[in-house]
Each structure stands twice: as C-alpha cells, then as structure tokens.
Amino acid sequence: VQALIQQALDRVSTTPTLWNSLRRLVEAGFHGERLAIARELRPWSGDQRRILDLGCGTGEFAGEFAADGYVGIDLSLTYLRDAAVRHQRSFLAAGGDALPLRGESFDAALIVGVLHHLPDQLAAAAMAEVRRVLKPGASVLIMEDIPPPAGENPAGHLMHALDRGGFIRSEQQYRAVFGDGFQLVRSYPIRSGICDYAVYLLRRLP
C-alpha cells in the first residue's frame, strides 16, 4: 500500500498546483514555517536586504520577503515556472552546489525541505556555496523534516514514512553537513500541520 501511495505522490509532485494544494492541506498553510521565518528573519519586508531561497520550489515563501531583495533558486524548471507565475520575484534555475551568484552578496538564506533530499557530499557542497554568496554575519534559516517524537502525532508518522527525502539526519549529522563556516545559533523542533521539522538558525562566520 505504501508503494502505491508513494507512486501516487510522485505523480502528484510533477503537477505544481496539485502538489501545492496537497502540501498546504497537510501543513495547514505552512503556518509553522511562516512563523519561524517571521521569528528568525524579521524585520524584513520592505527593507533592502537580499535573501537567497535555496531549493525554493514553487516559491511558497517568496511572498514573505520584499520583492527587490528576493532570489529563489531551484533545479526544477516546472516548479520555477509555477513560482514565476505566482510571484513577481527573481527565480533562477541552478543546482545548489554551483550558484550563479556573486560572493558575499546576500544578507540571509532560507532553505526549507531541501537538504534531506541531498546526500552528504552534495548537501555539504551546497552549504559551502551558500557560505560563499553570504556576507559575513549573515543568517541562514533551515527547516528540515524529522520524525515526530515517539508516541505523538500518528498522522505525522504516516507522512514521515511517505516522505520522499532519503537523508533524514540527526542534529549532529546536520552540523557536519553545515561545515565549519557556520555557527549554529539555535535549533528547535516545530510542527506545521501534521509535519514535524527541525529548525536550525546559523550565522555565517567571517
């Protein structure tokens, strides 16, 4: 049954509108992620800072930031096309490990639900690229799927079992992927709808 559901999800994920409707439903409008963005990256709207949204997908969080300063990057042209229709923002097609961006040109980065899809080497290469394009002292807000605490949130356990990311990590494993170029400022779990996430706030070291 799990394989069948997974096949159906794979098919749905190739249609951005359907995929977004499903995600919005199970994540209650991405309430948890939006709160974390507001908590960790505000005040932001309307100011001049530049934000990189790595693995932006359909640009679900683009609207949280001022139009001028936002750049979303993703590998999927299908998702980027959908993002560009919905938001007047800059979207670029590129891999996280080769960002077509100038060094030290961004004030912050947002990475939501991306690193748990990438093997260690690729995730570390993407983090090295993020470090390169960020100014010293810049913030990085990362949210990645984790299993719900034991005995809690049965629907979340089902979602977690169906999650298509193959690289769910512990905090210690994430620290290794982030590398020495960042300081971990704080980390904590959040729940968004029925999905559990680990939140990591990093600071780019000089």
**Interface residues with ligand SAM (CB under 6 A)?**
55-57, 60, 74-76, 79, 95-96, 112-114, 117-118
Nearest residue to ligand SAM, by Cβ distance, number only:
57
38 versus 206: smaller Cβ distance to ligand SAM: 38
What is the Cα–Cα distance from 83 to 95, expressed in whole angstroms?
17
Could you tell me the smallest distance in angstroms from the CB atom of residue 13 to ligand SAM?
A: 9
At closest approach, how far in Å is the CB of 151 from ligand SAM? 26
- Nearest alpha carbon to residue 25 among 12, 37, 42: 12
Minimum separation from the CB atom of position 206 to ligand SAM (A):
26
Smaller CB separation from ligand SAM, 84 or 136: 84
* Smallest distance from ligand SAM to CB 99, Å: 9
Q: What share of the chain is helix, strand, coil (3-state, %, to 5)?
A: 40, 25, 30
Sign of the dihedral defined by the CA atoms of residues 202, 183, 186, 25, in that order: positive
Q: From 204, 162, 161, select the one nearest 185 (Cα to Cα).
A: 204
